[in-house]
Amino acid sequence: MAKTPIRDGESLLCIRCKIPLSLGSETEKRANGEAVIYRYYVCNACNYKLLDEKIVIKKDKEGIRILIEVNGALTTTEKTYVNRRKSPQAQQ
């Protein structure tokens, strides 16, 4: 696991350079149809990265499943959105 960064008021500081980290994000699209979104803090000086949130979107015939992992925690939020195209009232 990543080391705990230093907090300075609102911002997180790089554990090496002690300067505020910027927020970044990346999207990874996998061959199996999954999409993974990473949100992280990054140091513009030394490129130190701290993963903040990982969102995995899975799509299968059951619907869309979203797995959220915050701060590297193993506690995962799972939500399933069932395909409701057959019942238009579910949209509004």
18 binds Zn ion (CB under 5 A): no
Yes or no: say if 65 and 57 are a contact pair by the CB < 8 Å rule: yes
6 binds Zn ion (CB under 5 A): no
45 binds Zn ion (CB under 5 A): yes
CA angle (13 as vertex; 45, 28 as ends), nearest 5: 65
What are φ and ψ of residue 90, in 5° steps?
A: -70, -20
Binding residue for Zn ion, selected from 11, 16, 60, 72, defined by CB under 5 A: 16
14 binds Zn ion (CB under 5 A): yes
Nearest to 71 by CA among 45, 42, 40: 40
43 binds Zn ion (CB under 5 A): yes
48 binds Zn ion (CB under 5 A): yes
Nearest to Zn ion of 19, 36 (CB atom): 19
